[in-house]
Structure 1
Amino acid sequence: MSWTGRSAGLLVAAAVVMSGAACTADSGGGGHSCANRYTYQDRSYGDVANVEFTLGKKLGVATKPPCEDTGGQDKNEEPVMKETAYEVDGISPKVAIAIGDTPKTATFFAVYSGSKLPPEVQKLIDGS
């Protein structure tokens, strides 16, 4: 793998770790901050920066739950946000989707555990 490929992989891994750090449990009722998280078909997706992908067909609606990082329920809490979920060509929606108001504004999101990206996503990042 070239130096550029390794650097891009490291940058993406760092972005994933930072996204995960933004979603930490609070000390109160076990809620989570959800800065860069969406849910689609009972799966949670986190954003992954700097991924070149081809948008596929429209899948449905992804939801961004309100952030619960204040330690308690607030009556002025932001509402659940809904945006369109799209397929990412060559990757199962169980692994990655794109989310945005329009196809032009769609951003890449992936399901991952901790700081490890699914192999299909890493392969897309590496350009293999």
Structure 2
Amino acid sequence: MKASPTRVGHGPARALLAATLLSLSVGCTAASPDDEAQPQASCAYVIEYDSRRYLGREETDVPVGESLGSATRPACDDTPGDGDDGEGPALMTAFALRGVDPAVAIAVAEDPGAYRLAVADSVKELPSALRKMTDGP
């Protein structure tokens, strides 16, 4: 009878590979369509104004100035193929922020008296006047 050569060093590597694959597969379990804990997709809050794109932020208590005119939140279908057409475009009014160039940030109002801060997507670092508004007292 011929003896098989002994493999040295493969056992720990295979155990590590098996443990890694097991941990990765845990996050890939199927969820039923009726599962209430299922995450819901959502569209980014994007505003188009004056040929620029702005990203909405959480801040809603910002000092608004004069009306700048119309702005649009583009249509969004974050779950294509689900049987509905998603949200259509939303028209709103853009407002200047006191002390901030509208090319940097604006406020938008979908409803009277409710304003939301939106920062141009080209802005990498908030200017000091805008940081003061977003950092709070």
Q: How high is the TM-score relative to the length of structure 2?
A: 0.55
* Change beyond 3 A, Cα 1:56–1:102: farther
Hey, what does 1:106 align to over in structure 2? 115
Report which of the two structures shows the higher radius of gyration computed on alpha carbons.
Answer: 2
Change in Cα spacing, 1:47 to 1:118, as seen in structure 2 (3 Å) is same
1:14-59 CA distance string (max 9 Å, x none): xxxxxxxxxxxxxxxxxxx743111101111111223642110010
- Residue 75 of structure 1, CA deviation: 8.2
CA–CA separation in structure 2 for the residues paired with 1:112 and 1:118: 11
Match of 1:122 among 113, 131, 135: 131
**Which secondary structure state, in structure 2, belongs to the residue aligned with residue 79 of structure 1?**
coil
1:119 partner letter: P
Distance 1:59 1:37 in 2: 17
Give the structure, 1 or 2, with the largest relative contact order (CA under 8 Å, sep 6 or more): 1
Given that residues 63 and 80 in structure 1 are in contact (C-alpha distance below 8 angstroms), is that contact kept between their aligned partners in structure 2? yes
Contact persistence 1:87–1:93 (CA under 8 A): yes
Q: Partner amino acid for 1:87?
A: A
* Correspondence for 1:86 among 84, 89, 95: 95
Structure 1: 5+ residue runs without aligned partners? Answer: 1-32
Runs ≥4 residues deviating over 4 A: none
Q: Map of 1:23-42 to 2, 5 A cutoff?
A: 34-42=43-51
Deviation at 1:102, TM superposition (A): 4.6
Tell me how far apart the structure 2 counterparts of residues 107 and 125 of structure 1 sit (CA, whole Å). 11
Aligned residue pairs total 94
C-alpha distance in structure 1 between counterparts of 2:57 and 2:48, whole Å = 15
Cα RMSD of the aligned pairs, angstroms, is: 3.0
TM-score using structure 1 length = 0.58
Percent of paired sites with the same residue: 34
Bigger proportion of residues as helix: 1
